Structure 1
Amino acid sequence: MKIALILSAIFVCAQISYGQSSWLELLPGAKKLSYDEKTGKQRLTGFVNFKYQGNVMFCDSAHYKERTNEVWAYGKVQINKADTLNLFCDSMYYNGKTRLAKLWGHVRIRDREYKLTTDSLDYDAKSSKAIYRNKGRIENITTNEVLTSVFGYFYPNTEESFFKGNVVYKSDELKLTTDTLHYNYLVHKVFFYGPTVGTTKDSKFYCDKGWYHVQKEEGFLTNHAKIEQAPRIITGDSLFYAPKRKFAEGRGNVQMLDTAQKVQFNAGFFTSDGNTLKDVLTDFPLIRIMKSKDTMFIRADTLVHFRDTLEKTLRIRGGKDVRIFQEKVQGVSDSLDYKKADGIMDLWGNAHFWSYNSELIGDTIRVFIKNDTLIEKAHLFPHAFAANELDSGKYYNQLAGKEIWSYFKNNELVRSEVIGQAKTIFYPEDEQKTDTAIVVKRMGLNRIFSSSLNVYLDSGEVTGISYITLPDGKFYPMDKINPDEQFLKEFIWNPFLRPKTWQELLKPRVQPIIKEEEKTPTGRNK
């Protein structure tokens, strides 16, 4: 964005100024000179050429009133200042005492770099202010820079310019439309107010208020701020962008949508570093991956997004209070490392994973993902445990071992394989048909130990168990189950940790108070 319209150089302002002799010096060329004693006016006609207060002036006719230091010029008016600046108009009035000037008709002001064109212009030399009120156009003679507006205000002493009303700036790099634009040459900043749209070769931005630093080539957008840079769309309460440093920052309701990858990032605070190809999200950050109907939501206190030079996601890392939500599976842990390019997500530190009425627990859970959202399998290690809730929490099928491999189909748990020191508590069922229905009856409790075993599930219900080596077990009928034998020592059941909706991820997780009667006989949370 080169909104550097070096506007302090565009306008004569002080050029038609007070400060030299108030005498009008007639130069050769005028065909006729007359004097009116009543009004005190001198009238010159016919290619008038004179010097007044250091400026050489040309016109078809002119009136000069020495008593009040007033000059009227008509017809092809031209003012030249040191051969570096020229002013043209159809007519002009200047009062040397009040130092007010008015120009009308095809007003053009030009220096070696810029040209201003307007219908009429007022200039107050005392307060150093120039104004056009009926549309103006500023052009850079050496480039394709053009600015148009309804109103223009110039303050050469402070080197500031204001433009208002349908302001449009165009250059080879940028088109900018806004309601009000303020340029301060001293600080090299352009400020814009009101609905603003900027278009560059590869991006588009919107805001209601903002600024751009011309020399540093960096800007700040606020009030409905939005940047479109395909395939990315970024919005936020405020956005700071420094393309020269390849750095961006967003604050307040920041959202970045990648339409190509179908990934959306939300955070209260967001930074993006193009040199390290890293994005950092804090203040309740959330990443949603929308490759299928079962969208994956990932949140943590801090999320770090790594990308390649083509802006594609390589890796996502999360620290503290990691939570994952999909309609069919959910997970929590202390930390997360998702190597998206490899389709591997590691959860470690109090890692839990849920599918239907099953909870998987491990020091580390490695999840294998296909097409970004489709869970294929999960590896729990070491000290792996899994529980399957029955009859609304009255009983639990349980698995424990050194490691557990769980396999999924359409994000539903269908099989678990326990490897090493496998232990299981399983409540087998028997179906009894009646004339009107099928009644499921629990047969009892099977407590079995084996080196390895497989558990098969359908819609969250265990349908069978197979043992790789000869099992060692015991069966208890339902009416003879000893409560001390009902739970493995590894048993943990944490329904309060499980996210129920993705909206829960946007709020702090509140640890519930567990009453004594809500604990299992092992003392574990139920």
Structure 2
Amino acid sequence: MSIKNSNTAEFVRDTDPVLNKFLGDVFITHGNIKMYCDSAYQYEKLNILEAFGNVHIINADTVHIYGDYLKYFGNTKYAEMRDNVKLKNKSVTVTTDFLDFDMTESVGYYFNNGKIVDAQNILTSKIGRYYTKQELLFFKDSVDVKTPDYILYSDTLKYNTVNKVAYILGPTKIVGEKETLYSEDGWYNTTTNISQFLKNTKLDSETYQIKGDSIFLDRNNEMARIFNNVELRDTVNNLILKGNFLETFKNTEEALMTDSCVFIQVSQGDSLFLHSDSLMIEKDTANFERIKAFHHVKFYRTDLQGISDSLVYTMQDSTIRLFKDPVLWAQKNQMVADTIGIQMKNNAIRYLHFRSSSFLTSKEDSTFYNQIKGKNMLGHVKDNKLYRLDIDGNGETLYYPLDKLEVIGMNMAKSSNISILIQNNKIDQILFLKKPDGQMYPLAQLSPEMQFLKNFQWLEDYQPKSKEDIFIWKEYTPVKKTKSFLKTKE
């Protein structure tokens, strides 16, 4: 070490080790290191320096360290700066009361709380390490980052001061104005607002919660992509979406789920489970949520099951609509139509709407099937049980009446409008609103062709019998001009 300047000097030789005192405007150099202070004690034999008051160190012309007290070890070029310490390097400023600095490696350490200011970001932590050559900062224990858009709380964090990327290395929570994100591994670019989180990641807001193995966020475009074991919970509407890929757009409030999709309508008594190739959440023109399911749609609830090619669930009128070869099962009744609507209220079914080519079938026994068909049908539901069915247009019935639980014949009738009353999962009464054209046939007179209405089909093999069955899809051989998958008996 070389003492370049001081106002006064005192050389004390009766101490061990020998001490040199320099007072007033002290300037010291050690290689490319420059040190300024009000006063300094030099232990020449030990190559150790103590500096007091307005201490200022310059290392390699870029790193400036200020403080009230310095202990400097010349042999190792190691500095211990104490009290009101400030380290400046380009755009980064570190403030603390305890800072150790390795001049050879150009690495600073604080271990009893510190604060870092970088452009618009302010970071505090109990323990920190600053690699000034690599321009990397490491933080440990009670890490707190404040930016104009969010506050970050972390256990362990790394920050690159050049590309402005923060690397999450432990449990971390990012709190924004409307959302809170938790993760234990990942990175966040504070300049581009693009980030990716890779472990135990969860995103919460007032209306939804999203979880996944990893989440990619683009805050500039309000876009998120979530990968593997994805779960989205709509806490307002009690809905859950699961799958292995989810893409959301916050500005348009749209979400697309693919890969092993599951939609769950949560109900305290009986939840609905649905699977399809893809699921979409969007807003309709009235700003109500609308869920769309595309291709190989299959759903299960204990009192209701169904399949179709596609499905739309609108929150505005609480109605599920099934399209393209839909089939519905309820209380041992099988129902098909060109389109089927399930109208809900408070998670309970109120009405079933069947539009065009409607057909209801129930199995009377191993041989006979009760059949009802017409243009349109309206099913009335109470306590989640179908109790009335109204046929509007081209009504036909094929019904097997019972006497003492024995089938006594077949009643075939036609009428434009028919009402069917159902009790205990069985047809109880058939009401013809216009004079019917019908006939009762004894069983002995029945030929096989007479036992089925045109386009009769029994699809029990395709009915989901449990929530696990929604993932099993059977391929169908089209037999109708409309390319229906349904097996039809002419």
Normalising TM by the smaller chain, what interval?
A: 0.7 to 0.9
CA distance in 2, matches of 1:523, 1:60: 99
Offset of residue 41 of structure 1: 7.2
* Greater CA drift, 160-169 or 217-226: 160-169
Aligned length: 475
Q: Name the counterpart of 1:500.
A: 465
What is the aligned partner in structure 2 of residue 448 from structure 1? Answer: 413
Asked whether the equivalents of residues 462 and 474 of structure 2 are also in contact (C-alpha less than 8 Å), the reply is no
Q: Which residue of 2 aligns with 1:213?
A: 189
Deviations 1:415-458 (A, max 9, x none): 22223332211011224xxxxxxxx2322111222223221101
The answer on 1:117 being equivalent to 2:107 is: no
Q: Could you tell me how far apart the structure 2 residues matched to 1:245 and 1:383 are?
A: 46
Structure 1's 83 and 254: CA in aligned 2 closer, same or farther, altered over 3 A?
A: closer
Matched with 2:138 is 162
Are 2:122 and 1:145 equivalent residues in the alignment?
A: yes
In the alignment, structure 1 residue 283 sits paired with structure 2 residue 259? yes
Question: d(CA) in 2 for partners of 1:337 and 1:412?
Answer: 23
Residues in 2 aligned to 1:190 and 1:308: alpha-carbon distance in whole angstroms: 38
Shift of 1:395: 1.8
Q: Which amino acid aligns with 2:245?
A: F
AA aligned to 1:463 is: D
- Deviation per residue, 1:146-191 (Å, 9 max, x gap): 41133x2222222111123443334575443323211112322100
Tell whether the 8 Å contact from 2:26 to 2:40 is kept in structure 1 after alignment: no
Pair 1:509-2:482 in alignment: no
C-alpha deviation, 1:120, in angstroms: 4.1
Correspondent of 2:112 among 135, 139, 142: 135
| AA of the residue aligned to 1:116 | T
Looking at structure 2, the residues matched to 161 and 142 of structure 1 have their Cα atoms a distance apart, in angstroms, of 15
| Cross-structure match for 2:363 | 389
How far residue 37 of structure 1 moved from its aligned partner, in angstroms, is: 13
Aligned partner of 2:431 in structure 1 is 466
- Residue 40 of structure 2 aligns with an amino acid whose one-letter code is S
- Hey, what's the Cα distance between the residues in 2 that align with 1:76 and 1:309? 69
- Aligned equivalent of 2:231: 255
Task: Report the Cα distance in structure 2 between the residues aligned to 1:176 and 1:523, rounded to whole angstroms.
Answer: 59
> Which shows bigger deviation, 455-464 or 43-52?
43-52
| Residue correspondence of structure 1 range 287-306 to structure 2 within 5 A | 287-290=263-266, 293-306=269-282
- Report how far residue 524 of structure 1 moved: 4.6
1:491 is aligned to 2:442: no
Query: Partners of 2:5 and 2:176 in 1: how far apart?
Result: 52
Q: What residue number does 2:72 align with? A: 93
Q: Is 2:36 the partner of 1:57? A: yes
Consecutive unaligned residues of structure 2, counting only runs of 5 or more, are: 478-485
> Contact 1:48/1:61 (CA < 8 Å) preserved in 2?
no
Tell me, in whole angstroms, the C-alpha distance in 1 between the residues paired with 2:28 and 2:5: 6
Structure 2 Cα separation of the partners of residues 141 and 209 of structure 1: 22
How far is the alpha carbon of 1:315 from its aligned partner?
A: 1.2
Equivalent residue letter for 2:37: F
Which letter does structure 2 place at the counterpart of 1:403? N
Q: Partner of 1:377 in structure 2?
A: 351
Q: CA deviation at 1:257?
A: 1.3
Residue in 2 that maps onto 1:76: 53
1:21-41 Cα offsets, whole Å, 9 max, x none, are x7431133x3x3328799997
Amino acid at match of 1:193: L
188-197 or 239-248: bigger deviation:
239-248
Aligned position for 1:435: none
Which structure exhibits the higher relative contact order, with contacts defined as CA atoms closer than 8 Å and separated by 6 or more residues?
1
Secondary structure of residue in 2 paired with 1:503: helix
Q: Report if the CA contact (8 A) 1:89-1:104 is conserved.
A: yes
Contact 2:99–2:108 at 8 Å: present in 1 too?
no
Which AA in structure 2 matches 1:473?
Answer: G
Which residue number corresponds to residue 17 of structure 1? Answer: none
Paired position in structure 2 for 1:336: 311
SS in 2 for 1:91: strand
- Cα offset for 1:118? 3.9
Residues 304/458 of structure 1: CA separation in 2 closer, same or farther (3 Å cut)? same
Asked whether the equivalents of residues 284 and 301 of structure 1 are also in contact (C-alpha less than 8 Å), the reply is: yes
| Cα shift at 1:232 | 1.5
The whole-number CA distance in structure 1 between the counterparts of 2:451 and 2:129 is 85
Query: 1:91, CA displacement in angstroms?
Result: 3.0
Once residues 336 and 430 of structure 1 are traced to their aligned partners in structure 2, the CA distance between those partners, rounded to angstroms, is 41
Q: Percent identity?
A: 22
The match for 1:436 is none
Q: 2:394 aligns with which of 414, 421, 425?
A: 421
CA distance in 1, matches of 2:118, 2:108: 21
**Structure 1 counterpart of 2:103, one-letter code:** D
* Structure 2 CA distance for aligned equivalents of residues 313 and 222 of structure 1: 32
Q: Distance in 2 between matches of 1:186 and 1:286?
A: 43
TM-aligned CA distance change 1:173 to 1:403, over 3 Å: closer
Q: Give how far 1:80 is off.
A: 5.6
Aligned to 1:484, the other structure's residue is in SS state: helix
Write the deviation string for residues 451-507 of structure 1: whole angstroms up to 9, x where unpaired. 2322110131100111123222232223443222111221111112222222333x2
Q: CA deviation at 1:292?
A: 5.4
TM-score, structure 1 length as denominator?
A: 0.81
